[in-house]
Structures are given as structure tokens and as C-alpha cells.
């Protein structure tokens, strides 16, 4: 695909924005979950309720955000979302109470979804055209993973004490945590300014404006949109479960906090490598079939971790299978929104499609946190993690089935397809 300098600038900005927006509510917790719990003095269950509050607010924001995305320029929406999210990060650095933390996550549910999510996906789909969706979404998710890994490395440097002691005092832990949060908040704020200044998108055509006035609920008559909901839902459950690998490293593998953070960062390095590689080759294949392969791999890994055989004596086995699980999950994430094109949905209605799919697809933000927190707090040691990975096993089976039926349905739709913007 021939890509102009202008288009490369756009995709780089989308990549930066796409990960920067989630650094504060999710990425820092993923890398430093044990430290996050200690500094803020919250339990796994309480943190789970923060994620649940985020998910409930996001649930209402997805649909409204989809409608807004089909009517407004993405640079205005994305830039505003980043700056508003950074303000919440600066507040997080003041170490709020557990009750205030729930309110903060509810606020982030608005700033990261209502003004951001659908515009990001629509802009990425438009960037990839109808023949390079794998490349577009692979670059987006892989680039986002690279940004997250870079933040992870920076966080490890900021978190490690000058003497490189394995055990930090409470004061050292607090100071390191605040440095990480405030530095990350500054990065998110700066990303918002860059988007406002540099990201440029085309204006909506007259046909697009008329198309967006039609009843969006007609989309729900399409079987493929329900299958896409299931695919995103089950893959996202897997993505949420990757949050628990650093905690698994400390609780089951008996690693110290810094080593566990390095494990989390290693997993995140896996994300850009996987997503970019898949993005570069996926356009040669039927993407829903490739997704099915990743789900099968998740089934295998979910069963392995749920069995409880990976204990502290098997560090190499743990690391290898953690990375293999990450490859399957990140590969699925890199591709599932490329199915919007495979399913022959109108480009003009991308925001609405993303809104509907996300309402169901990202409900794990509501239930994975508190459910996992319950199992971890009430079943100490490896037992709680076995319940969590059993959930991955079951969801992966459902995702594999949905991918298969989406693939067969898309082949039928292709035979009767219309031009891209008329469906």
C-alpha cells in the first residue's frame, strides 16, 4: 500500500493517542498491580469495583460516542478526551481514598469512551481502505503495545530505588508511584495537544451525512453484528485476564514486585511484535479464520493455567506460557475490528457499528474485575487463579465458534455485496 507522509503522520498520532488514553486507568495497574494495591490501600475486590464503575459508565458512553463519531471530526474528539483523561491522572497522584477512586474511574469511563473510542476505530478503518484493514488495525494495536511497553520500561526505571534494593520502604514506594503517575499524566496531556495540532481528517460527505440520519437500530437485525459482539467480548475477557499475570508472578511464582513488573513489561513487549506481524500478513488471509486459530490457542492455554500445574518450581514454563497466551490474545485484539470491513458494514456507519459492538464486547470492564477480585480474595494462592483461567478457557471456546460462523456468513455476504459505502 502506498502511503503518503500525511497518512503516516495520522496513523502515528492515532497509535500514540490509542494507548495514551488508557495508560492511567489500565496500563499502570497491569504493570504495577501489587504496588497499586499497596499504595492506594485497596483490595483486589475494591479495585475490581473501580473497574466495574468504569465499565457501567462506558456502557452508556459507547452508543452515544458512536453517534457522535459519525458526525464530528475525530481530532477534536480525540484531543479533548486525552486532555480530560490526563486531569484524572494528576488527581490520582494525590492518592485518593478508595471511594474517590471509584468516582475517578467513573470519570475516566466518560473521557476514554464517549469522546474517544469510536472516533479512533473509524479513523483507523478509513486509513486502511478496503484492502488493508489487517495492516491498519495491526499497526494501531501493535503501535499501542509499543507505547505501553515504553511506558513500562520508564515505569520500571522510575520505580526502582537508587540502591536497587529488592524491597522498598513505604515512603520509597509512594514516591516512586507518584513519579510514575505524574509523568504518565504529562505524557497523556501532551498527546492531546499533538492531536489537536497535527491530526487532520477529511470532512464528511453529503452522502455520509444523509446516511447517518437513518435509524441506527436497523443494524441490530444483522446476525454478523451479534457475532462480532461475541468475538470482541470473548477476546476482551482474555485481554483483561492478562492484567493478572504480574500478580500471579508474586502470589504463585513468589517473585518480588520489581521482577513481577518486569514480567508484566515482557508480556507487553509481546503485544507490538504480535500485532504488527499479524497486521502485515493478515490481509492475505480470511481474518475471521485467523481469529479462530488464536481462540483455539487461548483454549489450550486457559486449560493449562486452570489445571494449576504451573507453580513456583516452573519459572521457565510460566514465562513461556504467559507469552504464548499473550500472543493469542494480542493477535485476536489486532484483528477483531478489522472484521467490520470483512462483514461489509458501511464505512459511513462505522461509529454506530463500533458503538453497538462495544456495548456488549467491552462488558468485561464491568464483571471481570469484581469477579476475579472475589476469587483472588476468597481463594488464596493458586486456587483463585485457577477459577480466572477457567473463565478464559470457556470464553475462548465461545469465541472460536463465533469466529467460525462469522467467517461462513461473511462468505455469503461477499457474494451479494454492494460497494463499500452503500451497504
- Whether this model's pTM surpasses 0.85: no
CA–CA separation, 405 and 134 (whole Å): 20
Find the length of the chain.
423
> Grid coordinates standing for 48?
475490581
The torsion defined by the Cα of 332, 338, 340 and 343, in degrees rounded to 10, comes to: -90
Return the closest-CA partner of residue 334 out of 289, 278, 392, 407.
278
Q: Could you give the CA distance from residue 146 to residue 350 in angstroms, rounded to a whole number?
A: 26
User: What is the block-wise mean pLDDT of the chain (423 residues), using blocks of 10 residues?
Assistant: 70 91 87 85 88 87 88 89 97 94 95 92 84 86 80 67 55 85 92 90 51 70 92 95 89 83 80 88 87 96 93 87 94 91 84 90 86 90 94 96 88 55 43
The per-residue DSSP string of 49-89 comes to HHHHHHHHHHHHHHHHHHHHHTTS-HHHHHHHHHHHHHHHH
User: What pLDDT does residue 104 have?
Assistant: 97
Superfamily for the 5-422 domain: MFS general substrate transporter like domains (1.20.1250.20)
Domain segments of the chain as ranges: 5-422
Q: Which three cell numbers stand for residue 369?
A: 474485575
pLDDT (0 to 100) of residue 309 = 92
134 within 8 A of 287, measured Cβ to Cβ: yes
d(CA 175, CA 417): 58
Q: Quick one: residue 281, left, alpha or beta (phi over 0 = left, psi -120 to 50 = alpha)?
A: alpha
pLDDT of residue 400: 96
What is the predicted pLDDT for the residue at 106?
95
Nearest to 352 by CA among 69, 126, 18: 69
The stretches of 160-254 forming alpha helices (DSSP H) are 170-198, 206-211, 223-241, 245-251
Contact call for residues 352 and 219 (beta carbons, < 8 A): yes
Amino acid at each position: 500500500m502506498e502511503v503518503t507522509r500525511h497518512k503516516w503522520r495520522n496513523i502515528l498520532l492515532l497509535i500514540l493517542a490509542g494507548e495514551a488514553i488508557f495508560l492511567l486507568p489500565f496500563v499502570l495497574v497491569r504493570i504495577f498491580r501489587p504496588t497499586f494495591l499497596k499504595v492506594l490501600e485497596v483490595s483486589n475486590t475494591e479495585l475490581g469495583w473501580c473497574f466495574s464503575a468504569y465499565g457501567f459508565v462506558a456502557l452508556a458512553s459507547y452508543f452515544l460516542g458512536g453517534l457522535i463519531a459519525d458526525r464530528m471530526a475525530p481530532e477534536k474528539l480525540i484531543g479533548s478526551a486525552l486532555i480530560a483523561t490526563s486531569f484524572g491522572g494528576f488527581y490520582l497522584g494525590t492518592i485518593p481514598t478508595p471511594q474517590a477512586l471509584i468516582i475517578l474511574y467513573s470519570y475516566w469511563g466518560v473521557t476514554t469512551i464517549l469522546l474517544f473510542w469510536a472516533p479512533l476505530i473509524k479513523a483507523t478503518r478509513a486509513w486502511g481502505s478496503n484492502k488493508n484493514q489487517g495492516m491498519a488495525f495491526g499497526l494501531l494495536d501493535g503501535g499501542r503495545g509499543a507505547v505501553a511497553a515504553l511506558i513500562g520500561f520508564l515505569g520500571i526505571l522510575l520505580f526502582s530505588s537508587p540502591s536497587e534494593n529488592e524491597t522498598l520502604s513505604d515512603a520509597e514506594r509512594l514516591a516512586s508511584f507518584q513519579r510514575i503517575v505524574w509523568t504518565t499524566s504529562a505524557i497523556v496531556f501532551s498527546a492531546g495537544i499533538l492531536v489537536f495540532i497535527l491530526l487532520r481528517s477529511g470532512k464528511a460527505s453529503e452522502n455520509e451525512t444523509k446516511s447517518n440520519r437513518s435509524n441506527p437500530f436497523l443494524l441490530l437485525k444483522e446476525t454478523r453484528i451479534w457475532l462480532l459482539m461475541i468475538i470482541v467480548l470473548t477476546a476482551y475477557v482474555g485481554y483483561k485476564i492478562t492484567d493478572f499475570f504480574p500478580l500471579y508472578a508474586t502470589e504463585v511464582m513468589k517473585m518480588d514486585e520489581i521482577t513481577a513488573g518486569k514480567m508484566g513489561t515482557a508480556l507487553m513487549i509481546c503485544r507490538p511484535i504480535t500485532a504488527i506481524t499479524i497486521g502485515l500478513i493478515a490481509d492475505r488471509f480470511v481474518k475471521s479464520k485467523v481469529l479462530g486459530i488464536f481462540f483455539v490457542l487461548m483454549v489450550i492455554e486457559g486449560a493449562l493455567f486452570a489445571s494449576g500445574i504451573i507453580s513456583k518450581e516452573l519459572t521457565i514454563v510460566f514465562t513461556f506460557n504467559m507469552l504464548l497466551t499473550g500472543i493469542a490474545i494480542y493477535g485476536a485484539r489486532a484483528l477483531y475490528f478489522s472484521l467490520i470491513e470483512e462483514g461489509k458494514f458501511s464505512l459511513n456507519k462505522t461509529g454506530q457499528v463500533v458503538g453497538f459492538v462495544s456495548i456488549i464486547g467491552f462488558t468485561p470492564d464491568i464483571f471481570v474485575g469484581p469477579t476475579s477480585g472475589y476469587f483472588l480474595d476468597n481463594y488464596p494462592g493458586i486456587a483463585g487463579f485457577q477459577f480466572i483461567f477457567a473463565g478464559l478457557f470457556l470464553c475462548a471456546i465461545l469465541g472460536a465458534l463465533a469466529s467460525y460462523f462469522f467467517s461462513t456468513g461473511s462468505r455469503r455476504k461477499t457474494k451479494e455485496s454492494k460497494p463499500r459505502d452503500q451497504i
